[in-house]
Amino acid sequence: MNKPADHVANAATAAANTVSAAERIDARAERVKQATSEAVDRTKDAVERAADKVETGLHNATDKAAHGATRAAEKAEEVKMRGKEAYDEAVDKTNDWLDTAREYVREKPVQSIALALAAGWLAGRILRN
């Protein structure tokens, strides 16, 4: 047996196996790197889509809330105006009645006193019972 030749053959086989193992490790590392890159890209896309949906939902909710607030403010202003109109109308009617009563008292003072006495007497009778 030729020992140096065996050692050389074994060394050559070991070197070939080492190169082959290194190539396999490099190939596997490249596949892991590619798979990781693809997973990161898919995750990034999914997160961006989810963020877009959340953003759209928030915009829609904000728009609806703003619209509701605007409508509520408009209704409040409308009710305020109707209330002011009703108040002004009531004040005008009261003033008209007071003017009519003053005019009646000036034109007919005796009848006014008699009417006031009768109203007082009637109110007293009603309140006693």
Confidence of residue 23 (pLDDT cuts 50, 70, 90): confident
Look over the chain and give the mean of its residue pLDDT values, rounded to a whole number. Answer: 88
Q: How far apart are CA 19 and CA 25, in angstroms?
A: 10
What tokens were used for 51?
Answer: 């963020």
pLDDT at 33 over 60: yes
pLDDT at 64 over 90: yes
% residues pLDDT > 70 (the chain): 85
Amino acid of residue 85: E
Amino acid of residue 69: A
Q: What was the pLDDT predicted at 25?
A: 81
The DSSP annotation for 94-119 comes to HHHHHHHHHHHHHH-HHHHHHHHHHH
Q: Cα–Cα distances in Å, from 79 out to 40, 61, 93? A: 58, 27, 21
pLDDT at 20 over 90: no
